[in-house]
Structure 1
């Protein structure tokens, strides 16, 4: 089940990523030719308004085909049509004319040469492999010579399309974190939300709903509770909580060290933030997570770094919320 969830989650992230490329390309005047989730062979495909959409059978990625990613070059003639020429030498004159136009940089003049080559290929008897390569070459050249080809666009348009994929993923993360912060995952309160089983807090009798007001005889605000427990260095603590409108003494209870910090084993309830604050916290959290991913990926080149990363989850694992 977890594997299925991981695959579906990865597929969703890829879909969002590729959608960023797709819609940005259309917005700046390019016309994508294909939009696929997964890699071929296609399980399902359909065409709408000149764009082929599909679902690939290999769920390990996805892609958007943007026309003319590189400027058509004379070498393209050899790459796509060499086999057809070897089987049918009569194709050489028309391919030579096309090559000459490309060498001269005459992109407009190359268009009728591509049309002529397509007509000659339609009448020629070549092997299936040569036919597939030639058909692909015709399509690639048409895309590259078109007015919406990627290589023809202004620099800012090309940069926008390239960065739209990861940018869309970042915007999605910010949006989701903003929602979480607004519905209660932002600012911690002094009220206990959960008590972890078999931890000191549970053994001492702390319960969900208890509101902590004092630690070791000193008032404890919500923002101080974590630091006060961590600073105990394992010494016993006495908590005073409000339970059912009455004061109750918890402890003494000795924190134990987990993940490098002293903890009692409970989670504080979060309070929702307003939209501006939630959005800003989401931006900061996304930035920190992105930084940790980049740092972790960089550490993979070192043996010590590889030892510290045991799984994909470990790359972005944050500190526990338990206190």
Structure 2
């Protein structure tokens, strides 16, 4: 059930993203002829008055199709309701609406968590939601749900300072025993973990890390909205910093990139520990999806916005053949990366 819950959350995020594009187009009277979740052959489809709705075989995303790109469309090329014939600003609204929808959804998921589960009170230490099989942490006897309080008798601060200190300590201690003070089921225990050396000679113990969070009751709806706004800002800031670190030091951090399979695994583990945490899991992934899509890369929303920016500066669009070549190349690379991540994460998949 936890796996199904995580898949449902991911599907919801994709649907909301595509609904953002779809709604922004329809509200402006722009023609839309396809609304698809996933890629590849359709599993289920329904032909509406103007739009075909479909669920497709490969759930790596989705798309909203416009008659502009349909060679068999009977709509005249000079139809004012075609996307290509609308002003740059109208098209920019349609393209950016998916990102905006994901950000709005993330905020309201946090509101829902506060209203139903409670306010998250971050305390000192780090919680361990997942442990890799055959890792140093598992060999030392650590378990999912443990809370790390001290390393070599040095207390951990609050998140995120605790994370920075802990990661640096582990990376700088390959093959050196470290003494952890942990909390498990309201009991304080001591374990000795010896980090294994990775390909770069850095220590690794094979654990996931999240803040040590205790819940307290919300004091009302206003309290829920105010707290969620602060939590939303923190998540966006941390996610943006994470992407910057990935780009600025890609070789070291590339292995941390997760595909759909690994994301579902993380979500399933979170749901097993506390189903209420799926709200924050959904918010975090929704923010990640928004930031990824706004990156200025071909086949992503950010890449299309770059084309519109160039068109606004030039007073005319780039040649269609050039745009199509860039977009098709980007789409192939994006799908290839998605397929690689699915295969890699499936091969390395830990049992749920």
Which structure would you say has the larger Rg? 1
Q: TM-score per shorter chain, which class?
A: 0.3 to 0.5
Structure 1 length normalisation: TM-score?
0.48
